[in-house]
Amino acid sequence: MFCVPAQAEDPPSTSTAPSCPLGVLKCPKRPLDWSQCKKNDLLDFYVPGLPTEGDRAAVAANASARAVQSTDDHHYLFEGDAELGRLDQLLRADKIVYDSETTDYDATGHVRYQDRSIHSDDQKADDINSAPLRRLDG
């Protein structure tokens, strides 16, 4: 959910706020009115300080969770406060299934994702790198 502020309404005539006098070519902007915007929990998970530049393909992924299982050297199951990060990308979920060979993942539960251009909060997310597809389901 995104919120866009509205322009404040015209001030009442008894206000000391600047108005647009007759004959003025450029009127002063009214202040933004955020009163219509409700609290947005989306940014409650935001982690500051992640890099804003760099080549993701040149950096290894880091992962952590309360429990980790692996069937072989490439397939991992992270459960409980699972985190998968690579450069500016940070994926957090209740459960993440990850393939380190292809870097494909499937995240379920309370999924939070952020990178240099997006912040998202969903129930399910997956990424198939062989086809340029990232799907976030809310």
Give the count of domains, the chain.
1
Residues of the chain with pLDDT under 70: 1-18, 32-43, 126-138
- Whether 3 is covered by a domain: the verdict is no
- Whether 36 is covered by a domain: the verdict is no
pLDDT at 11: 47
pLDDT at 136: 45
pTM value is 0.60
pLDDT at 49: 81
By residue range, what is the domain housing residue 49? 43-137
The Cα 107–Cα 91 span in angstroms is 8
pLDDT at 37: 55
User: What contacts 23, CB < 8 A, 6 or more positions away?
Assistant: none
pLDDT at 133: 38
The Cα 21–Cα 113 span in angstroms is 48
- Whether 16 is covered by a domain: the verdict is no
